[in-house]
Structure 1
Amino acid sequence: MQSLKSQFYNEVEWGKLLKSGDRLFLGSNAAIPSALMDSLIHDAPQIKDLEVVHIVTFSDCEWALPKYKDRFKVNTFFIHSENVRRAVDEGRADYTPCFLSEISQLFNDDTLPLDVALIMVSPPDELGYCSLGVSVDIVMSAARSAKHIIAQINPRMPRTGGHSYLHISEFSACLQHEAPLPQILPHEPNKITERIGQYVSLLVGDGATLQLGIGKIPDAVTRYLFNHKNLGIHSEMISDGVMELMRKGVINNRQKTFHPGKTVTSFCAGTDDLYQFVDNNPHVEFYPSSYVNKPRNIAMNDNMVSINSALQVDLTGQVVADSIGHDFYSGIGGQVDFVSGASMSKGGKSIIAMPATAKDKTISRIVADLTPGSGVVTSRGNVDYVVTEFGIARLKGKSIRERALELIRIAHPKFREALLSKVREHLWVPDYQKRYPTDIDELGDVQIIPVDIRGEKYYLRPLNPADERRLQEFFYSHTKETLRLRYNAVPQAMTREKSCDLVSVDQTKDVALTIVKQEGSSLVIEAVGRYYLYDNQPFCEVAFVTRETQQGKGMASRLLNTMIDIAKKRRLQKMFAFVKAENKPMISVFEQGGFRRLPSEDPSEIELILDLEGD
């Protein structure tokens, strides 16, 4: 052990390992070797024109300041620091877009040959092996490709399992310097991100394997997964939220089909509690990004759910994630890797989650046309789900028209009318599509309500314009008897125009609800309930219809009770219903809901009334 200790130096002889014009790799995320960069900046001023290559570095990135422009030229794969962002904007630094899974190959095949890799590691064990600790990602590949490795040995660096070890003999120089790892504190909850977290959690089934990023939305998502069971993790990064779910037993990786029993990641970022959690933890394994982010490996996890963010989404489903117009803001990162992998996974889902607006609700993130200069990171053909605080848009298998209507529905209400008008300019929607989606405030912040019906999960929510085709399919599933009992006749057709009219409802006035069965991107309407407000009176007429295979299970009662609750909150006084006398099951539903029969001159029809004020 004494021979290993003798290799720890108090200073690095930079002139022997590095020369002007070299390309330098800098360690990532919370494993930024700040002591080495401080030494290089202050102890080797004679070395100039260094290209510094890195991804995210949790640091002030002093080397990107204007005063060092003759010494360091940053080439980043992901823009995170304000100093780096400003340097890119001013042309003093470069941004190189690349999938995170493919960055390592740039080093390996000498597209970007590395002269020196500056990294941070744990102290060596008794065999001389140091761990890359909290950041393996592209660090391992950079270290393997560089001519020289210079390591900052930090006693506070955790020892992590997986493919995270380098032998001290591989280092050309070492600097022992103890320092706390940068901490990323969990974000404080707010109303918008909490809603988004709730909606995303509805898309995560028990037994799913997750990929989560860092930020307010991933933090919110993890807070709404505590009632889930047997979740797994295969993610480029993990944070405190994942740790808490592992401690609760929600994440146990039991049902994973790739690395079962293990949380697989390439780096972690969070609090000291997280760093202590991963230290020598046999349940968490760190691998290079080239392995973790490889879409084929991601897809080996059944029920893989990827959750990523965006800056802007257009009405065809194109996702902008690294730039705002001509200004580069972040990077491609692992979004496309995981969107692709989740899409190939058996039962997989890819989710883009973002607030509906920016700049104090003055700008819609859902747009008819992308801001000029914005680059598409994830194509419209890759997108599965888009989530905002206003709901879930399901895009997979949807036409451009259906996508536009889905996305307008989850835009901020004050932008919906303008978005629909803009879409009409491109003839993506027919002239009879006149109404934009509206919410039912009385349902609460989350407009989708999971309901358990005889052990099966369904969702109760408002009907909306994007349901046009599904409602048409629902109509044509009915038998003639159902149509006769519901409509007092047998309608011969349900045109798209008629279907559009039925789903384009001003939900602030009338109400149209549905219970749907959702399996991945497959959606089936099982029941519909609606009430129509009488003109100039606080009364409404209510009706509903249920798919024949679902009748008798209580769906109509759930719809009726929900509509009664909404009507009361809107201070309506009476609800009416007109039912064929032979439709005894329907009459029974109304009577169980508190309706009473009224005298009728027509024996073939029963009129029922519910006094809302008297209840």
Structure 2
Amino acid sequence: MSSLTNPKTSEPLAWDQLLKSGCRIFVGSHAAVPDALMADLIANSRGLNDIEVTQVFTLSDNVWAERKHAELFTINALYIGGTAVRNAVAEGRADYTPTFLSEVPKLFSDHVLPLDAALIMVSPPDELGYCSLGVSVDVVSSAVKHATTVIAQINPSMPRTCGHTFIHRDQIHAWMTEDAPIPESPPPDMDQAVEQIGQYVSLLVENGATLQIGMGKIHDAVLRYLGNHKDLGVHSEMISDGIARLMKGGVINNRKKTFHKGKTITAYCMGSRELYDFVDGNPHVELYPAEHVSSPVKIARNDKMVAINSAIEVDLTGQVVSDSIGRLLYSGIGGQVDFIRGAALSKGGKPIIALPSTARDKDGKLVSRIVASLTPGSGVVTSRAHVHYVVTEYGIASLRGKSVRERTLEMIRIAHPEFRRELLERVREFYWVPEYQEQAPTTVPELGPVDQKQYTFDGMRYTLRPLRPSDERRLQEFFYTHNKETLMMRYNHHVTQMSREKSCSLVSVDQGRDLALCFTDFDGESEVIQGVGRYYYYPADNSCEVAFVIKESRRGKGIATTLLKEMEKVARARGIAKMFACVRRDNKPMLKIFEANDFTTRPGDSMDELYLELTLSGSKD
């Protein structure tokens, strides 16, 4: 006999008094899965068949999705999670319904998926009769409002969370008490690639930003690298232990938020017992329904909204696959598009997709997750127009406002080096890049683990980084800012044109042999080149020839000297024996910079030039 009772009369109830064959039920989500209720239903299901279970992600064994219960239950997964559900979908015993998390509540309220019952897990009622939905409000709140019958597992271990989390005992038609630990999500194992992704993503997060972050090891890695940030906020469909740690450390204080100021806003929590204890009665963390938290319009009310989501595969134009592996349905859409769009609409917002550059296929072979063409059968969850940044362990690809050609080159740059040449050859066949684009993007590891450095000159912040093939147009723009004197000093003759092909040759550099660095800053959201330095390597005598040019308006601030010093560091690290330059005699500022950095001077081959040289002794520094 079931242990269900009527909350008003305490009379025992049987499942066939609450459900009938062919009905549709909702099962509580994430870490608030009413496993005891489902076990009781399975044990006392006599006379019931073909009950449709509608669910999103559930941190559970999902025993009701196993083949042995196929006559009792059919599954309609709005998000595929867990081995049992994934297997059921793959075998055709369960359905997958793609939908945005923010729109799931309307499926219930509009009777697209009318609910006969909602099976949920809640805290015990307080002295006023209110139970808390605890660690999962998301779509549970809508299910409770619109289901004909509400059946609850009263769990004394469920935290009482703040926000829109409460349901009165009068709204519950049947309940049972079962004390059970809230399911925990163990911390994922980190590897070097994931750590590097976390470091890159952290570079995109400004002080005062508001974060949305998902589940998994990439998101945990990002949070680890935000420890030195200030005044961060949270508006996220979920929070994890990493969020709690940053709140305890004062990094997340929500002071700079422009929507729900002072509060961490989420729809559900999933992590360790420590996290569940942290949110229990915590007035600084508020849980709201998914239609509120995941509404793109409401998300966009947060300035500097940073949405960080992951993917299974991304093509070179920025199309994002995140719910399937080819034709194999794997997970779901969830809140990815909601938050990507909300962040894009936010003032200063940044929509980010982060993923490792490679994976192993079923045969153990290394494959690229950055692809020229999506795997047949793959579904595009986030369109190429939605994403501003894609991050792998090899860098950050900036896609906003980029042409297909520029996107392609940015994406190849962050692909695994083993696949870059192949990807370039593929897109040349499509004419996405011109026939003269022959050099695949390369990096300068000597600049440090993130392939770039930050500097401040005269109160302005600059980024030092390698020139990239996607900088073709930026370099053209940089060239056409020069006056005639600068062009004469740099090229020693009157250059009047920087063609697309010429610009391409200057930015498509084998950075492992030669070197091409630039200083950039931003004009609004547009990155602008302010200085370029490069050297050309000569293997015959293990030397390199140095040249650089700075925009006229940015001279005298230290940019040229810093470029020269950084190039010297790279040359020393590579064991180059000497650096040299040929400079016009009348280029006094340039000569002064070289001489101040210990270059010796002698007459050049031309009467108009001087030859400058710095001996590096071929030793690594």
TM-score tier (shorter)? over 0.9
Q: Is 2:537 the partner of 1:533?
A: yes
Partners of 1:333 and 1:147 in 2: how far apart? 25
Counterpart in 2 of 1:499?
503
Q: Which amino acid aligns with 2:36?
A: A
Partners of 2:189 and 2:430 in 1: how far apart? 41
Three-state SS of the structure 1 residue aligned to 2:111 is coil
Kindly state the Cα deviation for residue 568 of structure 1 after the two structures are TM-superposed.
1.1
Q: Which amino acid aligns with 1:370?
A: L
Counterpart in 2 of 1:183?
184
Spell out the pairing of 1:406-445 with structure 2 (5 A cutoff).
Answer: 406-445=410-449
Partners of 2:252 and 2:30 in 1: how far apart? 24
Kindly state the Cα deviation for residue 224 of structure 1 after the two structures are TM-superposed.
1.0
Deviations along 1:228-279, one digit per CA (max 9) or x if unpaired, are: 1111111100101111111111111111111111111100101111101111
Kindly state the Cα deviation for residue 19 of structure 1 after the two structures are TM-superposed.
1.0
Kindly state the Cα deviation for residue 195 of structure 1 after the two structures are TM-superposed.
0.8
1:542 to 546, 550, 553: 546
Three-state SS of the structure 2 residue aligned to 1:355 is coil
Q: Is the 8 A contact 1:8 1:174 kept in 2?
A: no
Q: Is the 8 A contact 2:323 2:381 kept in 1?
A: yes
Kindly state the Cα deviation for residue 184 of structure 1 after the two structures are TM-superposed.
1.1
Spell out the pairing of 1:280-429 with structure 2 (5 A cutoff).
Answer: 280-359=281-360, 362-429=366-433
Counterpart in 2 of 1:231?
232
Q: Which amino acid aligns with 1:577?
A: A
Q: Is the 8 A contact 2:212 2:306 kept in 1?
A: yes
Kindly state the Cα deviation for residue 345 of structure 1 after the two structures are TM-superposed.
0.8
Three-state SS of the structure 1 residue aligned to 2:611 is strand
Three-state SS of the structure 1 residue aligned to 2:236 is coil
Q: Is 2:450 the partner of 1:446?
A: yes
Three-state SS of the structure 2 residue aligned to 1:236 is strand
Q: How many residues align?
A: 612
Deviations along 1:402-436, one digit per CA (max 9) or x if unpaired, are: 11111111111111111111101111111111111
Moved more, 142-151 or 11-20: 11-20
* Deviant stretches of 4+, over 3 Å: 4-12, 518-521, 599-604
Measured at CA, do residues 519 and 313 of structure 1 come closer, stay the same or move farther in structure 2, by a change above 3 Å?
Answer: farther
Q: Is the 8 A contact 1:311 1:322 kept in 2?
A: yes
Partners of 1:201 and 1:10 in 2: how far apart? 56
Q: Is the 8 A contact 2:6 2:12 kept in 1?
A: no
Deviations along 1:354-404, one digit per CA (max 9) or x if unpaired, are: 001111671111111111110110111111111111111111111111111
Counterpart in 1 of 2:48?
47
Deviations along 1:501-523, one digit per CA (max 9) or x if unpaired, are: 00011111101111111467511
Partners of 1:600 and 1:317 in 2: how far apart? 50
Partners of 2:415 and 2:332 in 1: how far apart? 24
Partners of 2:473 and 2:417 in 1: how far apart? 23
Partners of 2:522 and 2:179 in 1: how far apart? 52
Q: Which runs of 5+ in 1 are unaligned?
A: none
Measured at CA, do residues 352 and 19 of structure 1 come closer, stay the same or move farther in structure 2, by a change above 3 Å?
Answer: same
Measured at CA, do residues 310 and 11 of structure 1 come closer, stay the same or move farther in structure 2, by a change above 3 Å?
Answer: farther
Partners of 1:34 and 1:10 in 2: how far apart? 22
TM-score normalized with structure 2 length: 0.96
Deviations along 1:463-518, one digit per CA (max 9) or x if unpaired, are: 11111000110111111111111111221100000000000111111011111114
Q: Is 2:77 the partner of 1:80?
A: no
Spell out the pairing of 1:118-197 with structure 2 (5 A cutoff).
Answer: 118-197=119-198
Partners of 1:69 and 1:485 in 2: how far apart? 79
Counterpart in 2 of 1:574?
578
Kindly state the Cα deviation for residue 604 of structure 1 after the two structures are TM-superposed.
3.3
TM-score normalized with structure 1 length: 0.97
Partners of 2:384 and 2:113 in 1: how far apart? 31
Three-state SS of the structure 1 residue aligned to 2:281 is coil
Counterpart in 2 of 1:17?
18
Partners of 2:219 and 2:381 in 1: how far apart? 20
Three-state SS of the structure 2 residue aligned to 1:234 is strand
Counterpart in 2 of 1:58?
59
Partners of 2:483 and 2:589 in 1: how far apart? 16
Partners of 1:172 and 1:535 in 2: how far apart? 82
Q: Is the 8 A contact 1:8 1:176 kept in 2?
A: no
Partners of 1:141 and 1:23 in 2: how far apart? 15
Measured at CA, do residues 8 and 377 of structure 1 come closer, stay the same or move farther in structure 2, by a change above 3 Å?
Answer: farther
Kindly state the Cα deviation for residue 553 of structure 1 after the two structures are TM-superposed.
1.4
Measured at CA, do residues 235 and 264 of structure 1 come closer, stay the same or move farther in structure 2, by a change above 3 Å?
Answer: same
Three-state SS of the structure 1 residue aligned to 2:512 is coil
Measured at CA, do residues 127 and 520 of structure 1 come closer, stay the same or move farther in structure 2, by a change above 3 Å?
Answer: farther
State the identity as a percent. 58
Q: Is the 8 A contact 1:394 1:521 kept in 2?
A: no
Partners of 1:419 and 1:175 in 2: how far apart? 58
Kindly state the Cα deviation for residue 546 of structure 1 after the two structures are TM-superposed.
1.1
Measured at CA, do residues 519 and 245 of structure 1 come closer, stay the same or move farther in structure 2, by a change above 3 Å?
Answer: farther
Spell out the pairing of 1:583-598 with structure 2 (5 A cutoff).
Answer: 583-598=587-602
Moved more, 540-549 or 85-94: 540-549
RMSD of Structure 2 on Structure 1 (CA): 1.7
Q: Is the 8 A contact 1:440 1:507 kept in 2?
A: yes
Counterpart in 2 of 1:247?
248
Moved more, 355-364 or 332-341: 355-364
Moved more, 519-528 or 181-190: 519-528
Measured at CA, do residues 178 and 613 of structure 1 come closer, stay the same or move farther in structure 2, by a change above 3 Å?
Answer: same
Q: Is 2:456 the partner of 1:456?
A: no
Partners of 1:328 and 1:588 in 2: how far apart? 64
Q: Which amino acid aligns with 1:86?
A: N
Measured at CA, do residues 90 and 9 of structure 1 come closer, stay the same or move farther in structure 2, by a change above 3 Å?
Answer: farther
